[in-house]
Amino acid sequence: MARKVLVMGEVRDSSLRNVSFEAIAAAKVMAEGGEVVGLLVGESVASLGSELIQYGADRVITVEDALLATYTSDGYSQAVLAVMEEESPEALVFGHTALGKDLSPRLASKLDTGLISDVTSLEEAGGNIVFTRPIYSGKAFEKKIVTDGLMFVTIRPNNVPALEKDAARTGDVSSLSVAIKDLRTIVRDVIRKATQGVDLSEAKVVIAGGRGVKSEDGFKPLQELADVLGGAVGASRGACDAEYCDYSLQIGQTGKVLTPDLYIACGISGAIQHLAGMSNSKVIVAINKDPEANIFKVADYGIVGDLFEVVPMLTEELKKLKVNA
């Protein structure tokens, strides 16, 4: 059954986030030969439309307004609902990001439809699109299908591979004028506390520190290793509570949920709340002085040792490999 699928492209610092391209790949499966329409909402986003098309969108609609320069659920929901009314798609795809997790339930309520959130894979089977999502903090998975009405899903970053970019691919980028009004919230200023560099939620490699790093300075060797691997630094709640780092780095049930290709846990004991945020990583390496630490139960590779000795050694060896490559 061919469908029109609307995909929300997410912009950060004037660039499209990778999850936008992964959402297009998911939309291609859901469309089953139908049309994939990208949607960009913001103040000056039209120039990014061609990139969505290069990653698989058939065309792109933009909604631009100075009131949409920074995200608010009021403003963005007005924009998306106006496009929904204009296009009447059969399916809607968002990234399961901070924006997607805030906006999608609001829209589902206004549209009086169901929502399948945090999808990690999808496939066509027996005439249905089957969505897989984790439950019970990642201890189990459930499969869902939509039998009637709008198919509305959010995709977890780093789980659905994006399509290969085709620079020669072209399509229409059009704008829709929407009167954004009656906003209950206006963002006057944004103060960023997150670290610069690779976006933690989309990083392919994550080096995470726990209470075992002992201090704020203890994160420096982790950052150096992350820089060598082109990854990002994260933390357990214990490290954040001890004020070794900012809470923007927290990974776990009450923090970010990640699925990187490589996760290196340094000085992390492996509390169940932390495992909920990283246990689905493709490869997990644990470094801990305690051979009985719970983190070793989920690790693919374990190193029993002092992280302040092991991490610098890993960093130096990896530097040599890069030089000789």
233-256 pLDDT, tens digit per residue, is: 999 999 999 999 999 999 998 899
Q: Is 251 annotated as a binding residue?
A: yes
pLDDT confidence bin for 324, thresholds 50/70/90: confident
Q: Is 253 annotated as a binding residue?
A: yes
Q: Is 269 annotated as a binding residue?
A: yes
Q: Is 78 annotated as a binding residue?
A: no
Q: Which domains does the chain have, with CATH numbers?
A: 4-175 (3.40.50.620), 200-324 (3.40.50.1220)
Q: Is 54 annotated as a binding residue?
A: no
Q: For residues 231 and 184, what is the distance between their CA atoms, to the nearest angstrom? A: 38
Q: What is the pTM of this model?
A: 0.87
Token pair of 109 as six digits: 């309520």
Average pLDDT value for residue range 53-62: 97
Q: Is 270 annotated as a binding residue?
A: yes
Q: Is 293 annotated as a binding residue?
A: no
Q: Is 268 annotated as a binding residue?
A: yes
Q: Are 59 and 27 in contact (CB under 8 A)?
A: no
Task: Give the residue from 170, 176, 124 showing the smallest Cα distance to 146.
Answer: 124
Q: Is 272 annotated as a binding residue?
A: yes
Q: Is 252 annotated as a binding residue?
A: yes
Question: What pLDDT digit, counting tens, does each position of 93-133 carry?
Answer: 999 999 999 999 999 999 999 999 999 999 999 889 999 99
Q: Is 96 annotated as a binding residue?
A: no
Query: How far is the CA of 226 from the CAs of 15, 222, 236, 307, in angstroms?
Result: 22, 6, 16, 14
Q: Is 267 annotated as a binding residue?
A: yes
Question: What pLDDT digit, counting tens, does each position of 160-216 carry?
Answer: 999 999 999 999 999 999 999 988 888 888 776 655 678 898 899 999 999 999 999
Token pair of 76 as six digits: 């963005």
Token look-up 């929904």 returns 84
Average pLDDT value for residue range 146-152: 94
